[in-house]
Amino acid sequence: MAVRHSFRETDCQEVRQVALLLFYGGNPLSDDEIASYYKKWIWFFELFLTIIDRKHGNFIHFPFLTSPAEQPYKTLQVMKLLQNLWIEKIQHDNEQAYKR
């Protein structure tokens, strides 16, 4: 069995801070604290943006060319968090468009 690398609550908070800034058009490099988080997690953001259907928030494919059970645990945890945050962004954008 593969070793599972935990995705701690502090990791989750770092990814969330970067995602909320990045997804809503901000520059994560403009703040020193956020920039350090972004540099730490950039690989996951770049991967996420290549495997997601940006219009609906669905995954187009898994991050790696293996079965779902063989996907790296931490990577899937980060991808699911990013997906949830992306879907929240889509809902926010739709609500803003509806109000116009």
- pLDDT tens by residue, the chain, 100 residues: 455 567 889 999 999 999 999 999 999 999 999 999 999 999 999 999 999 999 999 999 988 888 888 888 889 999 999 999 999 999 999 998 888 7
pLDDT score, position 77 = 92
Give the integer Cα–Cα distance in Å for 48 and 51. 5
Domain ranges of the chain: 9-99
Name the pTM for this structure. Answer: 0.88
- Asked if 44 and 75 count as a contact pair (C-beta separation under 8 A), the reply is yes
pLDDT score, position 1 = 47
- For tokens 């187009």, what's the residue? 60
Query: For the chain, what is the radius of gyration of the CA atoms?
Result: 14
